[in-house]
Structure 1
Amino acid sequence: MMPGKLLWGDIMELEAPLEETESQRKERQKSDRRKSRHHYDSDEKSETRENGVADNLDAPKPKKAKMKEKLNGDTEEGCNNRLSDEFSKSHKSRRKDLSNGDIDEYEKKSKRVSSLDSSTHKSSDNKLEESLTREQKEGAFSNFPISEETIKLLKGRGVTYLFPIQVKTFGPVYEGKDLIAQARTGTGKTFSFAIPLIERLQRNQETIKKSRSPKVLVLAPTRELANQVAKDFKDITRKLSVACFYGGTSYQSQINHIRNGIDILVGTPGRIKDHLQSGRLDLSKLRHVVLDEVDQMLDLGFAEQVEDIIHESYKTDSEDNPQTLLFSATCPQWVYKVAKKYMKSRYEQVDLVGKMTQKAATTVEHLAIQCHWSQRPAVIGDVLQVYSGSEGRAIIFCETKKNVTEMAMNPHIKQNAQCLHGDIAQSQREITLKGFREGSFKVLVATNVAARGLDIPEVDLVIQSSPPQDVESYIHRSGRTGRAGRTGICICFYQPRERGQLRYVEQKAGITFKRVGVPSTMDLVKSKSMDAIRSLASVSYAAVDFFRPSAQRLIEEKGAVDALAAALAHISGASSFEPRSLITSDKGFVTMTLESPEEIQDVSCAWKELNRKLSSNAVSQITRMCLLKGNMGVCFDVPTTESERLQAEWHDSDWILSLPAKLPEIEEYYDGNTSSNSRQRSGWSSGRSGRSGRSGGRSGGRSGRQSRQGSRSGSRQDGRRRSGNRNRSRSGGHKRSFD
C-alpha cells in the first residue's frame, strides 16, 4: 500500500470513516497490487541499484508495525516530512470530495487530531520532566562546566548526574577555594574533588613536559583506598598523568612515573615520604592538596608524616599556599581545629551531615545480636546464609589480625572466604580485593584496613564481630554496604558486658539498633532450600538422563515429595539442625513466649502464672526471662528437651504459651552479669531462680537477694559466673589493634 494511503487510513481511524462500496474497495486493491508489482522498476523510487536490489531499502516490516510507527511519530525526521506532505495532499483531495456543509465539520475533526498529536508530545515531555527527581535536576551535567569528553567517561562509569555532595563542592573546588567537606559514606566523595580538579587542570593545561612535578597531591590512609582513588581519577581523564604510590610495591615503577612526569599523585604518606627524603620527588609545584579521610590523616598516626610531606609547600599565613581540600564521612571538632593550620583565612565548609542526628548511612539497616564469643563463628555462619545466601556478598570485620584468620578458616563459614589485613603482602591484598570485586568469592574477612573509603559494589551484608572501640569505625564499617542508593544490612554482635558500647554507638551515630535473635530453623531451611533449587538450574539435561532410573526407584520407595525434599536437604548441607536460644544464641535451648491477656507490671506476674499451671520440675527448667515490649508478656529459654513437656502441661489459662519463629521485641535483654536487672521493671530473671510471689519467697542461693516482690533471683553458680566476668572485665580482656 502507498504511504499516502496508509496515512490516510490511519487518520481515518481517528475520525469517523466514510463508507466505501464493495466495488470501490476491490478496484482500489487491484490498483495497489499493480503499483506494488512495478515498484522496484521505477527509477524515481530508488536512487541507486546494484544486482537488481535498491540500496535505500530496509528490511520489510509488518503492516501493523508500520502503522504503529506512523501513529506514534517515532520515524525519522525525513520520513516525518514525507508523511506530512502526503497528509497535506490527502487533506486537500479529501476537502474536494466534501460538500460545503461538511468542510467545517471535517476541519474541526482535523484540528482535534492535530491538537491530540501536539498535546501527546507535550504530555510526554511533562512526564519526562516529572520523572526527574530534584536531585537529578540539580546534578545535571549541563549545570556545570564539565567537558563533553569527561561527561562521556563519567557515563561510562554509570554516572549520569552529580550527587548532592558533588553538586555542593563543585563550585568551591573548581574556583580554587579551600574546603572542608563532610558527607555520609557511599555518597560519592571521591568524585567530589576528582571531577572539578580534572576540569580545572585540563582547562589550564600547559605544554606537557617530561619529568614535570605533580600539581595535585591526594593522601589516603590505606593502600587500598589510595589505589581506588587513583583509579577513579584515571577513569575520567585521558589527558592527565595519574600515578599511585604506596608501600609493598616496586620502587622502580614509581621512579619511572616520576621521570615521565606526573600531573596527579595519589598515595599513602609512608611511601611518598620515602621518595621525598631520597630527593626523587619534587612537590614544590603543588597547586592542590587533598586529604581523604581527613580525621584519620590528621590523627596521631599520620599527622607527623603529613606535616613532613607538605610543610615545604605551605608558608605561614600565605594566600599563595596550595588549595587545600579535606574530605571525610566523620569530622570530629578537633579536626577543624587542627586543619586550620593548612587552610587559608577564608575557606568553604560543606557539611551534609551537620547537626542531623543520624551520622551513619541512611540506606543501612542496623541490627544487633547478643551472642557469646564461643558461639559466634557458628552463628555468623547462619547469619551469612540467611541474610546474604550463597550468592550475596558480605564483609566480616574483626578486631585483630588473628581473629580475621581464624574466622576465615572456621568450618562454620560455608562460603568461600578470604582474609585482608596488614600482615598480608600487598600483591596478595590487591589480588584479594580484585577477586572480591569480581565475585570470585563472596565473603571478605578483614580488619579496619577495609573499613574506609573502599567502594565495593553490591555488598549486601556487613558483619561486625564485636562493637568497635570508636563510633567513627562503626560508621565507616557499616558504610561498606548501602552505597550509591542501594540498601544494605549491618549486623553487630555483642556480649552482655558490651551493651554499654552498643548504646554509646547508638547515641553518637544517631542510630537505633534493632535487637534480633539468631536465625531460626525455618529461616535456615528456607534460605538453604532456595540455594539448592537455584543450583539445580546448572545441571544439564544430558546429566539428568543418567539419573532417571535411580530417581524413579527412589520415588517408588519414598514418594516424589519426600524423595525430592531429602535430595534438597542433602544438596544444601542441612541434613540436621541444632536449635539455639533466640535470646543468647546458646545451643541446646529454645526460646518460648508467654503472652498475657493484659499489661503486666514485671516478670513476677509471669512467674506466678507459670507456678500456678506447671509442675515445680518444669518451672525449674525456665531461665533468662525477659519482659516483652509493651509489657504484654515475657519470653524465656528452656532446654530443647523440655519444650514439649511445657506445652503439654500448659492448659486452661488465659496466657498463651508458644514457640516464636523470631525473637519478639523485648524491653531489655538478659544480662548474665547484672544482678540488679532482676529488680528492674523491665528486667530479667536468672535461671532456675524458683517461684516468685508478691507475698515473699526464699533466695535461690548465696548471691540471691529477695526483691520487693519477693521473687527469688540468682544462684551460687550465677554469682560465681558474674564475679568471674567482673574480674575478667577489670583485666581488660584481649588487646585490640587496628591496621
Structure 2
Amino acid sequence: MPRRTADEVRGNEEGDANSAKRARTEDNRPTAADEEQPNNGSAAAGRPFSEFNLSSGIVQALEKQGIVSLFPVQALTFEAIMRGEDVLVQARTGSGKTLAFGIPIIEKLNSLKEGPTRGRGPAAVIFCPTRELAIQVRDVIAGISGGLSVTALYGGVAYNVQERALYSGVDVVVATPGRAKDFLEKGTLRFDRVKMVCLDEADHMLDIGFKEDIELLLQRVAEQNGSVPNEPKHQTLLFSATVPDWVHTCSFISKNKKFIDMVGQGAMRAANTIKFYRRKCSFGEVSGMLADLVKAYSGRHGRTLVFTNTKKNLPMVDLVIQCAPPTDIDAFIHRAGRTGRAGRKGVCVMLHQPKDEYIVERIERHAKIKFEVLPAPTREEILKAVARDAAEDLARVERSATNLFLEQAAELLKDADPTEILASAIAVMSGYTSNITKRGLITGAQGSSTIQMVGQRPLPIHAFCSILRNNLGDHLFTRCRDITLLQDMPGCVFDVPEELVPQILAAPIHGMELSVIETLPPIIARELHSGGRGGGGGGGGHQHRYRGGGGGGGYRGNNYHTNRRRY
C-alpha cells in the first residue's frame, strides 16, 4: 500500500479555492453551481443550451450562476419530462439531479401561465427525506424560478413562518414527508393544483420510515387533483443515487415510465471525483484523530463535513469524514456525495474499529469502490499544514490592523531572534504551544512510534513475530501493535509506546536492522478473510499481519500459536 501524503490527499484545495468563492452566494447558501454541475466532467462534457427548448429566463439564471450547458443527467431527462412522461432516474449524487428535475418543472409551470392568486396551492411538489436536503433543493430551484414562488416545508422550526408562505400562495413546495403531512391534516396545504410530483432520494423516501407517509401524501394528491385509478392527472418523477428492484414496481408510477440509468450495473455508485480512504481507529482515539485529519488534510481554510449520527448540510465541501461505517450502504454513498461536487475533487475518509473490517469489505463490494488505507497524519504533516494555514492568515491581515501592534513587535525583537519570534507567533496561531504528541503510523494511537525491522530475506509474518518474541521477551513483544509485512523490503513494521522505543532498538536481534520511521513505507494490506483471531488476552493473526495484544493467540492456520510457543 503506497503511502499517501497529506499534500497528495489535500492537493485539490488550493486550486479549487477561488472557484469555490465565486460559486458561493453572499449569504453562503448553495447555488445551482455549487450543487449541480456534475462531478465527472467540465463544461465541455455538457450539451449547449441551444440544443434544448429553454426559455431565456432559465438560460440567463443558469449563466448568472456560471452554468453554461446541460450535463448528461439533465440532457437525457429533459425531453422526457417535458413530454409529460413519468421517469425513474438513477444518477450519482452530485451529478446534477436537482436541476435535472428543477429545470423542466419551472419550464412547465411557466407554460401554464396561471396568475399568482393568493392562497393558491402548489402546482409542483418535491418530497425530500431530510430538512437539509429540502433546504438545499429549495435554494437551487429558487435560483432559476423567475417569478414563481418556491417554499420549503420541514420540521425543526415554527409552523407560523411556513404557514404564512402557504397562505400567500405558492407554485413549488419542497417538503419533508412529516411536515407536509402535518400541514395537510391542518388543511393548510392543498394538492388540488398539483401537476407534477417529484421524489428526491427516492430509495430513502420509499423505504421503511417514510413509505407510509409518502403513500398517504401521494394518495391525497390523487384525490384532491381529480385523478382516477390508472389515469393520474399529475406526472411523477423519481430521482435517486440507488434504485433497488422494488422501486420499479411502485404502484404510483406508470408502468410505461422511462427508466434512465446514469450509473449502470457494476459501475461505481459514488462520484468518480471522490478519493476514498479508510483509517482504522479505536473508539477512544476518534476525537484526537478527527482533529489531526482536519488539520492535515483540509486545514483552517478548507471545508470539512463530519458525519456522526446527526448531520447538517454544508456546501462546497473539500473533506468528508465518517466517524464510523454506516451499516446502510446507501447512507454511505449519500454521505460521501457531499464532496466531489461541481467538478471539484473531494476526499472521503471513513474511520472504523478493527472489528468493523467486514463492514468495510461489504461497502467496497456493494458500492463498487476501493478504499486506500490512510496512515495517521504524521507530526511533520500536521505542522506543515497548520503552518501553511497560519501563513495564509498572516497574508490576510490588513495594514491598519498591523499598525496597532508595531510597538509590541518592536519590543519583542529587541532581545530575541526575529525568526524565533515569528515561529513562536505561528505556533500560537496554530494552537500548538507545547510539543505535539506522536501517533503510530499504523494504529494511529497517540504516544506511539513506528518501528521498521528489515532482514536479509523475505519471511512470513509469523516468523518475524517469533524473532521479536524470542529477542524482546513477552513483556515487550506484547506491546508491539499491528505487526505488518513490508511490500518492497524483507521486513515488517509495528507500533510501540514511545517510552519503549529505546529498549526495543537496543535489543540485539541478529541479522535485523531496527529503526524508527516517520513515514510509512508500502505495506501488504491485510486480507480480511485470512488467518484467525487471537485467543486469551487479545492477540490476533492474519496472513500478513499480527495485531498484538496481551498474551493472546494467533495464526492457527499458519502455525503461529502464542499460547503453545510453537512457531
Structure 2 length as normaliser, TM-score? 0.82
Residues 509-658 of structure 1 mapped to structure 2, 5 A cutoff:
509-537=367-395, 538=397, 540=399, 541-555=402-416, 559-574=417-432, 575-600=434-459, 602-607=460-465, 610=468, 622-629=480-487, 632-648=490-506, 653=511, 655=513, 657-658=515-516
RMSD: 3.2
Q: Identify the residue that residue 367 of structure 1 maps to in structure 2.
A: 277
Aligned partner letter, 1:276: L
What does residue 273 of structure 1 align with? 181
Q: Which residue number corresponds to residue 45 of structure 1? A: none
Residue range with higher mean Cα deviation, 648-657 or 519-528: 648-657
Distance (whole Å) between structure 2 residues aligned to residue 304 and residue 236 of structure 1: 32
Distance 1:138 1:519, change over 3 A: closer
Deviations 1:29-74 (A, max 9, x none): xxxxxxxxxxxxxxxxxxxxxxxxxxxxxxxxxxxxxxxxxxxxxx
Paired amino acid for 1:637: D
**AA aligned opposite 1:570:** V
How far 1:549 moved relative to its partner? 3.6
Q: Which amino acid aligns with 1:713?
A: T
- Asked which structure has the greater RCO (Cα within 8 Å, sep 6+), the reply is 2
| SS of match in other structure, 1:368 | strand
**Residue 227 to residue 138, structure 1, CA distance change in 2 (3 Å):** closer
2:342 maps to 484
Match of 1:217 in 2: 125
Structure 1 225/624 Cα, relative in aligned 2: closer, same or farther at 3 Å? closer
Pairwise mapping of residues 713-732 of structure 1 onto structure 2 (< 5 A)? 713=562
Following the alignment from structure 2 to structure 1, what is the Cα–Cα distance between the partners of residues 90 and 407? 62
Q: Which one of 297, 306, 315 corresponds to residue 457 of structure 1?
A: 315
Q: How has the CA–CA distance of structure 1 residues 623 and 548 changed in structure 2, closer, same or farther, with 3 Å as cutoff?
A: closer
Three-state SS of the structure 1 residue aligned to 2:209 is helix
AA aligned opposite 2:295: Q
Other-structure match for 1:234: 142
Give the direction of change, closer, same or farther, for the CA distance of 1:197–1:571 in structure 2 (3 Å limit). Answer: closer
Structure 1, residues 97-126: CA drift from partner, whole Å, max 9, x if none? xxxxxxxxxxxxxxxxxxxxxxxxxxxxxx
Residue 300 to residue 619, structure 1, CA distance change in 2 (3 Å) = closer
8 A Cα contact 2:541 2:554, kept in partner: no
Structure 1: distance between partners of 2:487 and 2:64: 50
* Whole-Å separation in 2 of the counterparts to 1:712 and 1:335: 51
Aligned counterpart in structure 1 of residue 545 of structure 2, from 668, 671, 683? 683
**Shift in alpha-carbon separation, 1:709–1:674, aligned structure 2, 3 A:** closer
How far apart are residue 150 of structure 1 and its match? Answer: 1.2
1:507: Cα distance to partner? 0.9
The alpha-carbon distance between structure 1 residues 210 and 528, as it changes in their structure 2 partners (threshold 3 A), is closer
Aligned counterpart, 2:15: none
**Distance in 1 separating the partners of 2:388 and 2:271:** 30
Shift of 1:550: 3.0
Query: 1:382 maps to which residue?
Result: 292
Tell me whether 1:501 sits opposite 2:363 in the alignment: no
Structure 1: how far apart are the matches of 2:423 and 2:171?
Answer: 63
Which range moved further: 187-196 or 249-258? 249-258
Spell out the pairing of 1:281-430 with structure 2 (5 A cutoff): 281-314=189-222, 315=227, 317-337=229-249, 339=250, 341-399=251-309
**Residues 533 and 553 in structure 2, CA contact (< 8 A), matched pair in contact too:** no
CA 712–567 in structure 1, closer or farther in 2 if over 3 Å, else same: farther
> Contact conserved, 1:385 with 1:528, CA < 8 A, in 2?
yes
Question: Which letter does structure 1 place at the counterpart of 2:449?
Answer: V
Q: Distance in 2 between matches of 1:590 and 1:330?
A: 43
Aligned to 1:737: none
Contact 2:456 2:511 in 1 (8 A): no
Aligned partners of 1:583 and 1:663 also within 8 Å: no
- 8 Å CA contact 2:454–2:489 kept in 1: the answer is no
Alignment of 1:203-214 (within 5 A): 203-214=111-122
- On the 8 A contact 2:457/2:490 being kept in 1, the answer is yes
Partner of 2:37: none
Alignment of 1:94-173 (within 5 A): 136=44, 138-173=46-81
Identify the residue that residue 71 of structure 1 maps to in structure 2: none
What's the CA shift string for 1:510-548, capped at 9, x where partnerless? 111111222111111111222222333327442453134
Provide the rounded CA distance (Å) in 2 between the counterparts of 1:259 and 1:159: 34
Larger Rg: 1
**Greater helix fraction, Structure 1 or Structure 2:** 1
* Residues 669 and 684 in structure 1, CA contact (< 8 A), matched pair in contact too: no
Q: Call closer, same or farther: CA 1:526–1:489 in 2, change over 3 Å.
A: same
State the Cα distance separating 1:711 from its structure 2 match: 4.2
Report deviation, 1:224.
2.3
Partner residue of 2:5?
Answer: none
Q: How many positions carry a matched residue from both structures?
A: 513
Q: Structure 1 counterpart of 2:315, which letter?
A: P
Amino acid at match of 1:587: Q
SS in 2 for 1:547: helix
Counterpart AA for 2:273: T
Alpha-carbon spacing, 1:239–1:474, altered in 2? closer, same or farther (3 Å): same
8 Å contact kept, 2:542–2:555:
no
- Higher mean alpha-carbon deviation, 227-236 vs 613-622, is at 613-622
In the alignment, structure 1 segments of 5+ residues that lack a partner are 1-132, 400-446, 689-700, 717-739
| Cα distance, 1:646 vs structure 2 | 3.7
Matched with 1:475 is 333
Name the SS of the counterpart of 1:282 in structure 2: coil
* Range with greater deviation from structure 2 (217-226 or 650-659): 650-659
Tell me the amino acid that sits aligned with residue 576 of structure 1. N
Task: Write out the 4+ residue segments of structure 1 that deviate beyond 6 Å after TM superposition.
Answer: 611-618, 669-673
Moved more, 159-168 or 236-245: 236-245
- Is the 8 Å Cα contact of residues 675 and 714 (structure 1) preserved in structure 2? no
- Distance change >3 Å, CA 708–CA 302, structure 1 → 2: closer
Kindly report which structure 2 residues correspond to 1:436-451, keeping only aligned pairs within 5 A, or say none.
447=310, 449-450=311-312
For the structure 1 residues 227 and 616, does the alpha-carbon distance in structure 2 shift closer, same or farther, using more than 3 Å as the test?
closer
**Which SS does the other structure have where 1:301 is aligned?**
coil
Following superposition of structure 1 onto structure 2, how do residues 183-198 of structure 1 map, counting pairs within 5 Å? 183-198=91-106
SS at 1:300's partner residue? Answer: coil
Cα 1:620–1:369 shift into 2, 3 Å: closer
User: Which amino acid in structure 2 is aligned with residue 542 of structure 1?
Assistant: N
Report SS of the residue matched to 1:675: coil
**C-alpha separation in 1, matches of 2:365 and 2:294:** 27
Of 215-224 and 537-546, the range deviating more from structure 2: 537-546
Q: CA deviation at 1:375?
A: 1.5
